[in-house]
Structures are given as C-alpha cells and as structure tokens.
Amino acid sequence: MTAATSAPDNVANALMVKACWYKPMNTDNSWPHSWLLEYIHKCMDGEILVGRELIQQLEILSDHFEDPDIKIDFSDAHKRIKFIEEKCKHSEAPFAGKPFLLALFQKAFIEAIYIFKIYDAEIGKWIRKYQEVLFLVARKNGKTPLIAALCLAEFFCGDMGTKILCSSNDYDQADLAFQAIDAMREQSTALEKVTRKNIKGIYFGNPRKPKKKGKFSYANKGNIRKISAKTGAKEGKNIRVGMSDEIHEMKDDSAVMPIRQALSTQDDPLYFELTTEGFVNDGYLDKRIKEARQVLAGELERPRWLIWLYTQDSETEIWQDEKNWVKSNPGLGIIKKWSFLRGMLDEARTNTETRVFVMSKDFNFKQNNAAAWLMIDDITNTEVFNLDEFKGCYAIGAVDLSKSGDLASARIIMMRKGSSKKYTHQKYFIPESKLADLEKEDVEKFKEWVRRDLIVVSPGNENDFSLITQWFVGLYKNYNIRVFKTGYDKWSAVYWVKEMESYGFDCVRIDQTWGSMSEPMKLVGIDLKSKLINYNDNPVDRFCLENTAILMNSKADIMPVKIEGKDNKKIDGAVTMIIGYRVYIDNRADFLRLVEGR
C-alpha cells in the first residue's frame, strides 16, 4: 500500500514505513491493506468528518507506525475482522439475518486495538499495546453489537480458556450485550454446534459429542457470562475480557473496579468501556472522560488506554449544518437513519426535554441541570381571574412543605365545565428569619410580595404549617371551594397531614421520584406553553418557574431541580404545580365528573 499524495506528512510517512522489526503478513513482502491507515488518511484529509478528540487519538496512532519500540502485526486484527464478517449475523431488524459487514470506522477501530504490539520483559513476549478501551459514540450507532461481536471473536479466536464477562449498571443492560453475543452464536451453525448455553452463560463443548478433544470441546473451560452492579460485580474473579456497557449510568467505580481487577492475572487482558453521554452529574463517566481528555492532550500518561471518542466540536455546528452530525454518529446513513435524526432535531428546537435528551444521547454533549426548563415566553401569561368566579367549585390541592426553615407553597387547581384550562390559586409561606438570608437582588421582591399578601411570614426560624391548613380551611369557609384531594411531598408532613385529615381533607403523598414527577412535569410544560394554565399572573409563581431546571435520566424521565449555581433560588411554586398535576392525572376521570356536575 502506498501513500496518497494528498495525505498529511505524518500519515504519508506512516504508510511508507517498513522498519526492520516488522514482519509483513504477505509473502511478497508487502503490507496488507490497513483499514486504520485508510481511516486516518480520510479523516485527516477531511473526506470523513470526525471531532478533534478522535483526531488527537488518530495522530497518536499514526505516530505508532514510526515508533521502533512498537511492532506492527495485522494478523490478530484481520483474523477477528474475518471472523465477524464470515461467522456473525445481525439478530435485530432491519438487519436481522444479514451478515455482520463492518464499516470502515469499525474495522479501523478493531485494528487500533490489535495491531500495535509492545515487548513485555516481565512475561518475555510481545503483547497488545492497548489493554483498555473507552468507546464513546451516540446511540444507535451499533456500539453494543460491535463490542458483542468482538467478544465472540475473542472467545473463538483467542487463547483456550478465555473467560469473558458482560457487565453494566443494571442486569437488563448487561443482558442486552450477552443476548447480542448469544444471538450471533446461535445464527451460525458452525459456532452453535461447538458451544452450549445455560442460565449461567455460554460454554464450549457439544453435549452430543462430550468426549471430543481440542479447543472447541468440554476441555476448554472458557465461558461468557453476565453480571450487573446490583447482582454481584464481586464475582468477576479471573477473566481475560471484560465489557462494561453504558457506564454513563454509574455513580462511581464500584461496578467496574472488580472487573478491572479480575483481569490483573492475565498476560494480555482486554477491557472495554462503551457508552453514550449521560445525565449523572459527577459520576464515573465524568471522571473517565476528564482523564481521557488529559491523556489526549498529553497531560496524563496512560499508554495502555485506547480512547475512541465520537464527539462534536461545538453545539452550534449541530444546528448550522447537518453534515457535522457524523462526528458523533459515524454510523449515520449506514446504521442510523438521517430521517430519524432530522426528526429528533426538529422536535428539539421547540421541546426542552427532547433537546436535552437529543444533545446528550445523539450528540454526546453532557447535559447538566443548568438547562432551564422553560423559556420566558412559555412562562409569561398575564391572564387574571377573580376567585369569586369559582365559588362552590371542586379543586385539587398541592403542597410543597419543603424544609421548615425555607419557602413553602400551597396551591389549588380548578377547572371550568367544558374547558381544559386550569386555574390556580396559591399562597406562599416563609419564616421571618429566612427573609434576612435572601440574595440581595431578591430581598425587595419578597418584601413587596409579603406586603401584597402573596407570602405569609411565620415568626421565628420555622414555618408554621398550621397556617397552610388554615388557608385550605379558609377557602372552604369563604368560597365553599371543596378540595377533592391534596397532594403533598413527604418532607416533615406527618403532623400536618393529621391536622388536615382532622378537618376532613383527603391527603395523598406524592413521591419526589422520576416515575412520579416526570409525566406531570411534562404536561405542566406543555400546558404552560399552550397558555392552558392561568396562574393569575402571580409573580412568585413566575419567579419559581424561571428558577426551575430539568434533571433527566437515561429513560428521558425528568424531575424539577434548581438551576445549577442558584441554590438559594426558589422553585417551590413549580413543584406544587407538578404535584397538583400528578393528583389530576391519577384522578382525572373522577375529578372531571365533579367539575361537570355529573
């Protein structure tokens, strides 16, 4: 293979190097075709767009070809590429039953892992330079099937007795990788007839030929198993290949360290970490990505770590030109559909939750809870009403007691016959001492809100929750507003609930969890944008909504949180809207019957 004239000098030199230590595979003393060098060439030349972080790794790899201490040997890489393309088939639509034909970026990735050898004086032989691999790529670019195929290739092409462990933060995710391996094994007659599977794992040996000898017999004690952080990561023991999937969900290294340590007895171990970006702040992936970027920048020495990051160079380029999407989506047009990603971006332009999810999962931009939930235009609603208009109506109640020394919020949600619009009436409560602790920019606002009776001040350092009870009682006495059910958060609520129930109120606890808060928070956001919530132009409500951000998990569930860096700001009013909507959703049919007078 000769260098292309348009390739950068370092790549061109690498293509032509034939050092004396290199033993070529081909009998005519020529180099075999290198998918990695082809990929480097096309990336450096701009034919294939990749982000600068992958460029940094490719520059390091291109230098390896000129390093006299590194031996270049394509045999292991090409053996595994051939195995995957000839023996493995896809098991999921739309590729089910089709051969696993590797794209250029996948072949280059495999070569990067296997072709570089260094001499290990401790064991007296040449071994792979890279023993750990971090593979970050956007969702639906085939990362799990690729690593699953590589694990199966290691099982068959690697040393006898190779033990492989598939792991993740939860059992279901670990099972996805394991099932991907098993599906490829089952679809190949040649592989299936020399292996067996039970509830514990995959093993060599055909039950119909138990006395057969050799690598593919019962004599080979290698196996493929699965574990999760929650079901026994301590059982890793002695393995040769480890795979940790979706590490973005891990809060710390407790799930991966037992696996990494279980590789320590091997001469030539291989450990994969594969993931997209996630939503866990200060988690394990954040630490690994920080270290990886230090390695790529030459600030940290980790010579055995291959860092393969498909990332964008800026968020702006995503919106400016769709051709840049391939930087984080190398399988776009091959595995992942352009139409799907275009649709997600169109939705993300107007939907905050979608935008946060898409930026993280489709473009590998870490999303902290600094992203505001709603735009100012979404929040602004100057419609007002008079509470007298709702005399004798039914309402849903919501209370955020918060901490006894902080702002608390109480709210009722009302509706009119034949209308989907919600009308909310609310009251806030704060201890006298807390007023002095407010940020300077908020002090005058709160004093004004106290003067307008939008906030009730409790003497001393604690909120008097009985004032909240009396507020609900007053709504009944003065307006005959009957509260159907009242949702509350669980903070310090025991005595308050007993007091409310003594007056005949039906109180329902609303857990502050993903499952409980996500659906109502999304509906509140939609209704605010559609101007279907009339909060009587309450400035405290508007203040709370402006301070509310979304925290999202990997399932796209959301929760309300304070905007990062604004811990002293208040969001209690937004929380009671969401709690109220939770009660409404859970009791919609019964409540609407009361509203309609049926």
CATH code: domain 9-316+323-327 is: 3.40.50.300
Separation between Cα atoms, residue 239 and residue 259, nearest integer Å: 8
**Beta carbons within 10 angstroms of residue 8's beta carbon:** 15
Diameter of the chain by CA atoms? 99
Separation between Cα atoms, residue 151 and residue 170, nearest integer Å: 19
Q: Is 434 helix (H, G, I), strand (E, B) or coil?
A: helix
**Residue 140 dihedral angles phi and psi, to the nearest 5°:** 65, 35
Are domains 9-316+323-327 and 376-596 of this chain identical in fold? no
CA distances from 418 to 509, 583, 593, 595 (A): 29, 20, 11, 9
Separation between Cα atoms, residue 582 and residue 476, nearest integer Å: 22
94: cis peptide before it, omega within 30°? yes
Sign of CA dihedral 142, 144, 147, 151: negative
Assess contact for 348 and 360: CB atoms under 8 A.
Answer: no
**Residue 501 dihedral angles phi and psi, to the nearest 5°:** -65, -30
Assess contact for 509 and 493: CB atoms under 8 A.
Answer: yes
Q: Which two three-digit tokens encode residue 409? A: 């919020």
pLDDT in the model for residue 149: 96
Q: Where are the alpha helices (DSSP H) in 158-213?
A: 171-187, 189-192
What distance lies between CA 19 and its chain's CA centroid? 44
Q: Which of 81, 98, 76, 92 has its CA nearest to residue 188?
A: 98
Half-sphere exposure of 180 (CA within 13 A, CB side): 26
Domain boundaries, the chain: 9-316+323-327, 376-596
Model confidence pLDDT, tens digit, residues 221-233? 999 998 876 655 4
Assess contact for 509 and 537: CB atoms under 8 A.
Answer: no
Assess contact for 395 and 550: CB atoms under 8 A.
Answer: no
pLDDT in the model for residue 31: 65
State the Cα torsion 18-19-23-26 to the nearest 10°: 10
Model confidence pLDDT, tens digit, residues 385-394? 999 999 999 9
Model confidence pLDDT, tens digit, residues 314-363? 988 999 999 999 999 999 999 999 999 999 999 988 888 888 899 999 99
Assess contact for 585 and 396: CB atoms under 8 A.
Answer: no
Q: Characterize the bridge pairing of strands 422-431 and 533-534.
A: parallel
Q: Stretch 62-72: mean pLDDT, rounded? A: 96
- Lowest pLDDT segment from 140-144, 271-275, 493-497, 587-591: 493-497
Model confidence pLDDT, tens digit, residues 413-441? 999 999 999 999 999 999 988 887 787 88
Question: Between 158 and 92, where is the model more confident?
Answer: 158
CA distances from 280 to 283, 305, 420, 566 (A): 6, 23, 36, 19
Predicted confidence band of residue 587 (pLDDT cuts 50, 70, 90): very high
Assess contact for 404 and 462: CB atoms under 8 A.
Answer: yes
Write the CB contacts of 190 (distance below 8 Å, at least 6 apart in sequence). Answer: 87
CA angle 300, 301, 303 (to 5 degrees): 140
pLDDT(472) > 50: yes
pLDDT(88) > 70: yes
pLDDT in the model for residue 29: 53
Percentage of the chain modeled with pLDDT above 90: 69
pLDDT(155) > 80: yes
Separation between Cα atoms, residue 300 and residue 304, nearest integer Å: 12
Q: Which two three-digit tokens encode residue 280? A: 């866990």
pLDDT in the model for residue 9: 46
Separation between Cα atoms, residue 139 and residue 592, nearest integer Å: 41
pLDDT in the model for residue 566: 72
CA angle 64, 70, 75 (to 5 degrees): 95
**Residue 126 dihedral angles phi and psi, to the nearest 5°:** -80, 135
pLDDT in the model for residue 598: 59
Sign of CA dihedral 341, 344, 350, 354: negative
Going by CATH, does the domain composed of 376-596 fall within 2.10.70.10? no
- DSSP line for 556-585: S-EEEEEPTT-TTS--HHHHHHHHHHHHHH
Q: Stretch 24-40: mean pLDDT, rounded? A: 75
pLDDT in the model for residue 170: 77
Predicted confidence band of residue 23 (pLDDT cuts 50, 70, 90): very low
Sign of CA dihedral 584, 585, 590, 594: positive
pLDDT in the model for residue 492: 65
pLDDT in the model for residue 20: 31
pTM of the model as a whole: 0.78
